[in-house]
Chain A
């Protein structure tokens, strides 16, 4: 069995194991073991990938496998990975494993909960390994639909509204994506009447006419951009996150939003570089707005999850911004930022969930002084905050610096101004992060009931420690990950810069 197919088979086996499990304990143990194996597999994938590269394999995609699926439409089930997807797969592995750990205490319909959660993850893994637009789209949908159930059933607050809103907006995005993908497909035959293809690698070798690109680039970019919280299509994010259960928020902000960035890079930019260069400025304006707007929006929020949702809008806006700069350094930064944001936002949401379980409120006006009563969680929150505001030594800094340095390579005034605007977000980010840290963790304990709450227990500690180790690891030794990614960027960047 080859290494990529196993990534899909293990979740399926896990789901089966959960179905036949009888007790609560069996269910969560099978979920944890299954996702533990999955995490080990992703680590194994990293080493297999590196070994392959060391052996001098310079193909763009490794471990490529392809099976014909619908012969009449030339739809294949083709999979393969490069440095970018391996990095994102590793991220997914970490986030889902910690997500299962944080859901240890879910006891309402826990079987269905874990099944939905793992089906969702299967979609994410499948998305990142797909080389065929059709299968990619399929996995995309597979990831989005369980989300509806997860929020609608296990959520809190106005959960039906949030679930419906999120799903409808993402479905709208899917419609655009489907149109865009079909548009690429029908224009993919080299000669009129020739064989058409969904395969990304083959598509990238074609020269799709600029007129076609002009129509389908915005569709695909917006389609993926909705998932990546592109202004003004980000409004599902605050409501969705605030209603979602902890593990779902973690996965959603940590991984699903990265599918948006990955799609923009791998599909929109890579396959339609002419339009990307021509129309990029519109999206640069939108993403610059996202970055600053999200940060300003976060300053006045009162709900912890809203703060994080807006902060995600800002940080994911930075990802899209960096991708649009079509510069190697900044794109490298974009991938680093995806991973960094994935880890720290997962940490944030995990901690928010844990704090909520103890305080039964997420409104920061009623909280204060948690550092005194739950020091472990509070320190974890502080570290997540510091990573978020780009402290050197944690992952956020490296990603941001790559993005800024890369974006600044453009010498024209438009790009320069956009870069300066985006850079200014580091100050605004500091403001809202420190505001939350100060009101939530520091100061006197506001509510006497809080004096009774207990600090983290083992599975919570495990979640926090795993995520912090990953964040600090990337932050302190960034070269390793950066090297891992950067060679895989070459095909994309070459294609983009060939046009200029």
Chain B
């Protein structure tokens, strides 16, 4: 078996590139830092492809089962002999797949950014953070233990914070970055507690022990129960809380739409293709635990995913900022991946949901990155995010138009684009397990097609606005990534994923279930058709629909007022309700008590001072009166 030692290059190179660009970036020409970053990612992409090719072509196989290979593992922090944080590389089907996804999208985003960010004052800072992010994300997926995941989990969080706040002089970007960090930090608290409980009951952080389907970790902790659920279930629910934060599941989704304040390529890389699917990845990583040891937690994953997916899809139908529509669409698609995990079992063909989820993750990364990059290209051309101010762009930007259409068809699930294949598997898995979730995913499929084509028709068809300067097609270094990703969206559906990426490492055969695929495609086409009728030509139909829905429309448009609820909690309860009283209490009560003690001491000493007057008569007077009091007291006791 090949030992894959060379994969160490990937994180190492990226880290060096981060440090180099970060520390010396100001010294040399901006363009050089962009090229340095892109070059290091290019090398990583090549290494990742070689790894993936050799892993899936047999080097990872033993007895037809894909093995977990650990080419490198070093001790980073030791708590006890068993509780050790290692920094290492774990190769298994999902981590190798993620390597390919991350390096591909990152490379495309790097190339695209060379053009998109040109002339930006923070050019080299931008590229150094991109390297940091790519490094952290790769570190996350190749983790050999859950604590390593947590370490990199925090690092991707901070890189996301830094990149959302790239335009740091813009107050909205600053508050969006803050919001993203705080919300995910809150979720990470759950993740951390989950790790603590998990390590406490299993005595290890190590994935190879934790997720061994025949191992002892699975059975531990199921005996002890707390509030009706086993401790293991609680631990996994807490870990899922972390996943929900990172993957923007309801009710922790609020940071993602705001995160669109960052540069658009960043949204493509972090907030569409890679970081936001980290939650899905982690559930998949711990899948044996979820499926075999805590099915209740897995149910929760599925239902939270389904609800979020539907919820976000509905909101996406009303938004007008093109990046926000894509953000809600991302939330919705990630919800679908969670749903797929939720309806999956472990092992064999029962693990269809798992495989479908990973398949969708892979396809989604490609077409969603493409959508964002196209959106970036549009924004670059018209200098606005607002959909209502656009229209008729197909004439000005043919490449963007065609690639955007490809991505829309892929996400809507129209054959032969990639989304069709993975969505079909998800629907089948849901159909076999849970009919309610199946219906929900069907509805989502329809809504997805509708809102994506609403966006497509509004931007590229409809009536052309009066642009001040005529929009122009993006330069070649921005167009090439679009074409590459469009090509990927066209072909990745044909990858026989079920042979490679499965819950238990054993491949199986799948085929298209036309009985489910045909209705699904039908619904999607209906969605597209509706969007075409309403938005392709200029008409007052959208306004009429909006008016007829009235307050329902504004409820959805305002995203169900979830943001307002959060502002209430943070501003009114935490800031005004807890922090201000604490600060007041500290100054007025605690501190004044301390000052009070000093004041009393002072007061008493001033009073006592007068006793030592040096006047003999006064001393005699006090002494005599004291004696009299004592004598009276003694007499009193005597008589009693």
Partner of A442, one of B75, B83, B169, B188: B169
B182 and A297 within 8 A (CB): no
Indicate whether A478 sits within 8 Å of B582 (C-beta atoms), given known contacts A391-B155, A438-B175, A442-B168.
no
Enumerate chain B residues within 8 angstroms of A398, measured Cβ to Cβ.
77
The interface centre, meaning the residue of A169, A408, A419 with most chain B CB atoms within 10 A of its CB, is: A408
Question: Is A53 on the interface with B (CB-CB < 8 A)?
Answer: no
Residue contacts A-B, CB under 8 angstroms, 10 given: A168-B598, A235-B594, A296-B579, A369-B169, A392-B150, A397-B154, A424-B189, A444-B171, A478-B76, A479-B77
Stretch among A212-220, A341-349, A428-436 lining the B interface: A428-436
Question: Is A178 on the interface with B (CB-CB < 8 A)?
Answer: no
Q: Apart from A391-B154, A423-B189, A434-B182, what 13 extra A-B contacts exist at CB < 8 Å?
A: A168-B598, A234-B590, A238-B586, A297-B579, A299-B574, A329-B79, A389-B185, A391-B158, A393-B155, A398-B77, A426-B188, A443-B170, A445-B169
A301 and B582 alpha carbons, distance in the complex (Å): 11
Question: Is A232 on the interface with B (CB-CB < 8 A)?
Answer: yes
Please list the residues of chain B having a beta carbon within 8 angstroms of any beta carbon in chain A: 75-80, 83, 85, 147, 150-152, 154-155, 158, 165, 168-171, 174-175, 178, 181-182, 185-186, 188-189, 192-193, 196-197, 199-200, 574-575, 578-580, 582-583, 586, 590-591, 593-595, 598
Indicate whether A427 sits within 8 Å of B182 (C-beta atoms), given known contacts A404-B196, A438-B175, A442-B174.
yes
Chain B, Cβ-Cβ closest to A301: B583
Partner of B178, one of A165, A408, A434: A434
Question: Is A300 on the interface with B (CB-CB < 8 A)?
Answer: yes
A430 and B181 within 8 A (CB): yes
A231 and B591 alpha carbons, distance in the complex (Å): 11
- How close is B168's CB to chain A, nearest CB, in angstroms? 4
- How close is A55's CB to chain B, nearest CB, in angstroms? 23
A435 and B178 within 8 A (CB): yes
A299 and B200 within 8 A (CB): no
A427 and B189 within 8 A (CB): yes
Question: Is A401 on the interface with B (CB-CB < 8 A)?
Answer: yes
- How close is A268's CB to chain B, nearest CB, in angstroms? 22
Enumerate chain A residues within 8 angstroms of B598, measured Cβ to Cβ.
165, 168
Indicate whether A423 sits within 8 Å of B178 (C-beta atoms), given known contacts A168-B598, A299-B575, A479-B75.
no
A487 and B247 alpha carbons, distance in the complex (Å): 41
Chain B, Cβ-Cβ closest to A161: B595
Enumerate chain B residues within 8 angstroms of A236, measured Cβ to Cβ.
594
Enumerate chain B residues within 8 angstroms of A426, measured Cβ to Cβ.
185, 188-189, 192
- How close is A293's CB to chain B, nearest CB, in angstroms? 6
A479 and B182 within 8 A (CB): no
Enumerate chain A residues within 8 angstroms of B158, measured Cβ to Cβ.
386, 391
Enumerate chain A residues within 8 angstroms of B171, measured Cβ to Cβ.
443-444
- How close is A247's CB to chain B, nearest CB, in angstroms? 25
B155 and A479 within 8 A (CB): no
Enumerate chain B residues within 8 angstroms of A393, measured Cβ to Cβ.
151, 155
A406 and B193 alpha carbons, distance in the complex (Å): 13
A300 and B196 within 8 A (CB): no
Give me the 8 closest cross-chain CB pairs, A-B, nearest first. Answer: A299-B579, A392-B151, A235-B591, A442-B168, A296-B582, A430-B185, A442-B174, A300-B579
A482 and B174 within 8 A (CB): no
B181 and A434 within 8 A (CB): yes
Enumerate chain B residues within 8 angstroms of A424, measured Cβ to Cβ.
189
Question: Is A405 on the interface with B (CB-CB < 8 A)?
Answer: yes
- How close is A321's CB to chain B, nearest CB, in angstroms? 15
- How close is B538's CB to chain A, nearest CB, in angstroms? 39
A371 and B168 within 8 A (CB): yes
Partner of B77, one of A233, A234, A293, A482: A482
Question: Is A402 on the interface with B (CB-CB < 8 A)?
Answer: yes
Question: Is A495 on the interface with B (CB-CB < 8 A)?
Answer: no
- How close is A416's CB to chain B, nearest CB, in angstroms? 9
B200 and A408 within 8 A (CB): yes
Enumerate chain B residues within 8 angstroms of A300, measured Cβ to Cβ.
575, 579-580, 582-583
Interface positions, chain A 88-106, Cβ under 8 Å from B, are none
A234 and B593 alpha carbons, distance in the complex (Å): 12
The interface centre, meaning the residue of A169, A236, A329, A392 with most chain B CB atoms within 10 A of its CB, is: A392
A297 and B189 within 8 A (CB): no
A456 and B282 alpha carbons, distance in the complex (Å): 43
A371 and B122 alpha carbons, distance in the complex (Å): 12
A406 and B154 within 8 A (CB): no
- How close is B84's CB to chain A, nearest CB, in angstroms? 10
A235 and B590 within 8 A (CB): yes
Convert A303-333 into 0s and 1s, putting 1 for each residue whose CB lies closer than 8 angstroms to a CB of B.
0000000000000000000000000010000
Question: Is A372 on the interface with B (CB-CB < 8 A)?
Answer: yes
Chain B, Cβ-Cβ closest to A444: B169
A232 and B592 alpha carbons, distance in the complex (Å): 11
A443 and B75 within 8 A (CB): no
Partner of B154, one of A168, A235, A299, A392: A392
Enumerate chain A residues within 8 angstroms of B181, measured Cβ to Cβ.
430, 434
A413 and B193 alpha carbons, distance in the complex (Å): 14
A443 and B193 within 8 A (CB): no
- How close is A433's CB to chain B, nearest CB, in angstroms? 9
A430 and B200 alpha carbons, distance in the complex (Å): 26
A147 and B77 alpha carbons, distance in the complex (Å): 38
Question: Is A190 on the interface with B (CB-CB < 8 A)?
Answer: no
B192 and A423 within 8 A (CB): yes
- How close is B545's CB to chain A, nearest CB, in angstroms? 39
A293 and B582 within 8 A (CB): yes
A420 and B193 within 8 A (CB): yes
Partner of A296, one of B77, B147, B186, B578: B578
Enumerate chain A residues within 8 angstroms of B575, measured Cβ to Cβ.
299-300
A6 and B78 alpha carbons, distance in the complex (Å): 34
Enumerate chain B residues within 8 angstroms of A369, measured Cβ to Cβ.
169
Enumerate chain A residues within 8 angstroms of B168, measured Cβ to Cβ.
371, 441-443
- How close is B422's CB to chain A, nearest CB, in angstroms? 33
B189 and A329 within 8 A (CB): no
